[in-house]
């Protein structure tokens, strides 16, 4: 294993038909760049570059994969292909759009549409939480619209968090980063690369007691909504299982937000998967309807068939 970070491709580097502008973000498995195509259209390019299995020093372009790590590199490559397959099957305004996929520099690149805006994480940080209810309802309705499409294709996102929700300048959201996505039914054998973000990951992502399902992503959506009010992630689910100190949204913000919105958040954050809303579309419908939100939560809870406590 190598501890140092790999160097990004330099600004101005010609990568196939694209010209690298700058690095947007770096993760354990990839670097994302802002680049421009031949027509000067901005794109986001994700480069497969697992930090623990490749080396790229300053001034180098082609990463080195030491022989001992070739198998690990190849395994991750297959997972990167999975992400590409998952995303190219989806064509939805609230899901990031894939434009191209190609091989270069002895690794592979995923090209995505780039739009101006910011992540929900940055938005929450700037506002220190306390986001407006109308904004939250509209924006999360879009998130759930995209998520419904993802689930409709038999996929689970499994890493929904504010950093993976992009807000366009008109505040419409785009789901990003399907690096953890899996086919919902592709469960069983041990997970080769468990990825989760504390605070947003559902309890079933920490241990295999319950099956992963749409309800797993719904927990994360609930945690994002909670974070949008609190300014930061709720207590991590594995800690909550031991000693639940997460104050329910209804208790914490009872005077500032509608009972319905707060009840929705608390429903999503239930530790027991079957007691959460089971479908993105049902949750979305409850966010869309009754914009005033004055109705007691009982009416939609009973419609969803959920327990009211």
Partner 1 sequence: MNYTIAQESRIGGREINQDRATWLATEDAVLLVVADGMGGHLQGEVAAQLAIDTIAECFRIEAKPRLANPTDFLTAAMHRAHRTIVNYAAECQIEPHAAPRTTCIACVVQDGQASWAHAGDSRLYLIHNPGDGKPRVAHTRDHSIVQNLVDEGSISPAEAANHPMRNRVFSCLGGLEAPHIEVSATVSLEDGDLIALCTDGAWWPLGEKLVNELGGPSLTDSVPHLLDAAERAAGPEADNLTLIAMRWEAPKPKVEADPPFCDTYIGQAPISDEEIENAINEIRRRIPNNPHGASS
Using CB under 8 A as the criterion, which residues of the chain lie in contact with partner 1 when the complex forms?
17, 70-72, 74-75, 77-79, 81, 84-85, 88-89, 91, 98-103, 108, 153-154, 183, 185-189, 192, 209-211, 213, 274-275, 278, 304-307
Radius of gyration, CA atoms only, the chain: 20
Q: How far is the CB of 83 from partner 1 (least distance, A)?
A: 9
Distances (CA, A) of 194 to 153, 179, 228: 21, 11, 26
Q: Which is nearer to partner 1, 235 or 278 (CB)?
A: 278
Q: Which is nearer to partner 1, 29 or 257 (CB)?
A: 29
Q: How far is the CB of 225 from partner 1 (least distance, A)?
A: 21
Cβ(114)–Cβ(43) under 8 Å? yes
Residue 290, classified by CB atoms within 10 Å of its CB into exposed (0-12), middle (13-18) or buried (19+), is middle
DSSP assignment letter at 41: -
Q: How far is the CB of 148 from partner 1 (least distance, A)?
A: 12
Q: How far is the CB of 278 from partner 1 (least distance, A)?
A: 6
Q: Which is nearer to partner 1, 7 or 19 (CB)?
A: 19
Q: Which is nearer to partner 1, 128 or 307 (CB)?
A: 307
Please count the residues of the chain: 309
**Alpha-carbon gap, residue 143 to 166, rounded angstroms:** 10
Q: Which is nearer to partner 1, 194 or 291 (CB)?
A: 194
Cβ(284)–Cβ(304) under 8 Å? no
Q: How far is the CB of 122 from partner 1 (least distance, A)?
A: 29
Q: Which is nearer to partner 1, 62 or 187 (CB)?
A: 187
Cβ(34)–Cβ(112) under 8 Å? no
Other Cβ atoms less than 10 A from the Cβ of 272: the count is: 11
Cβ(258)–Cβ(295) under 8 Å? no
Q: How far is the CB of 277 from partner 1 (least distance, A)?
A: 9
Q: How far is the CB of 13 from partner 1 (least distance, A)?
A: 19
Helical axes 214-230 vs 259-268, angle rounded to 10° = 130
Q: Which is nearer to partner 1, 74 or 127 (CB)?
A: 74
Q: Which is nearer to partner 1, 75 or 125 (CB)?
A: 75
**Alpha-carbon gap, residue 184 to 155, rounded angstroms:** 5
Q: How far is the CB of 71 from partner 1 (least distance, A)?
A: 4
Long-range CB contacts (< 8 A, 24+ apart) of 85-91? 86/153, 86/155, 86/178, 86/181, 86/183, 87/112, 87/178, 87/181, 89/153, 89/155, 90/149, 90/150, 90/153, 90/155
């Amino acid at each position: 294993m190598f501890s140092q970070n790999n160097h990004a491709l330099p600004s101005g580097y010609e990568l196939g038909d694209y010209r690298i502008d700058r690095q947007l973000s770096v993760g354990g498995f990839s670097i994302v760049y802002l680049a421009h195509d031949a027509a000067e259209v901005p794109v986001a390019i994700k480069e497969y570059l697992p930090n623990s299995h490749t080396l790229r020093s300053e001034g180098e372009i082609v990463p080195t994969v030491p022989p001992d790590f070739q198998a690990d590199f190849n395994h991750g490559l297959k997972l990167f292909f999975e992400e590409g397959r998952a995303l190219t099957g989806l064509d939805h305004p609230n899901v990031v759009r894939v434009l191209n996929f190609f091989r270069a520099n002895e690794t592979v690149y995923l090209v995505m549409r780039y739009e101006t805006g910011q992540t929900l994480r940055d938005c929450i940080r700037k506002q220190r939480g306390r986001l407006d209810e109308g904004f939250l309802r509209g924006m999360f309705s879009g998130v759930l619209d995209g998520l419904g499409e993802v689930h409709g294709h038999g996929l689970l996102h499994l890493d929904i968090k504010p950093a993976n929700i992009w807000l366009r300048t008109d505040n419409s959201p785009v789901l990003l980063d399907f690096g953890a996505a899996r086919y919902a039914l592709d469960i069983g054998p041990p997970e080769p690369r468990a990825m989760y973000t504390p605070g947003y990951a559902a309890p079933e992502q920490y241990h295999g007691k319950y099956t992963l399902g749409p309800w797993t992503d719904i927990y994360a959506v609930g945690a994002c909504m909670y974070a949008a009010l609190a300014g930061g992630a709720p207590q991590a689910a594995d800690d909550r299982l031991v000693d639940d100190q997460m104050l329910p949204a209804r208790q914490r913000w009872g005077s500032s937000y509608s009972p319905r919105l707060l009840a929705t958040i608390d429903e999503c954050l239930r530790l027991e998967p079957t007691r959460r809303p089971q479908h993105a579309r049902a949750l979305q419908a409850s966010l869309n309807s009754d914009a005033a939100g004055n109705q007691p939560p009982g009416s939609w809870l009973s419609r969803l068939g959920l327990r009211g406590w």
